[in-house]
Amino acid sequence: MIRRDEIVDFVVLIIILLLIAVAVYDIWDSGQVYQAADAARYKIYKPSQHEGSVSFKELQDMNLEVIGWLDVYGKSIDYPITQGDDNTKYVNTNEFGDYSLSGAIFLDYLNSKNFQDFNIIL
């Protein structure tokens, strides 16, 4: 006959295994989000003084809300800048207009697209 202690031990074991499975999935899912937001994906569109910014123009043709490029020297920040009609669009949308958990870097909708405001909010 099965005792209560054995049943409790079995239930606790199942709960622990389920928690481990959820943790492994969360780690895998976070890796997918970071991989989708990797700056290396966007280097083909990066404006270049040598190439006449042809590839950046192609990115702007795909999405008219791409307005610039953010590149921080010596850091791994190298991404296009977008600006929507409000500040919620690019929270979960990438610069191609597709759904993305990592979103896109975007300029506040109240700032001017020519970056001439006193305060620029990205």
What is the three-class DSSP state of 21? helix
* pLDDT at residue 71 in the model: 82
| Cβ(122)–Cβ(81) below 8 Å | yes
* pLDDT at residue 53 in the model: 45
User: Can you tell me which residue has the tokens 């620029």?
Assistant: 120
What residues have CB less than 8 Å from 72, skipping those under 6 apart? Answer: 78
* pLDDT at residue 50 in the model: 47
* pLDDT at residue 43 in the model: 66
How far CA 57 is from CA of 18, 29, 52, 61, in Å, comes to 48, 32, 9, 6
Mean pLDDT by 10 residues, the chain (122 residues): 83 95 92 76 63 68 86 81 89 84 86 85 86
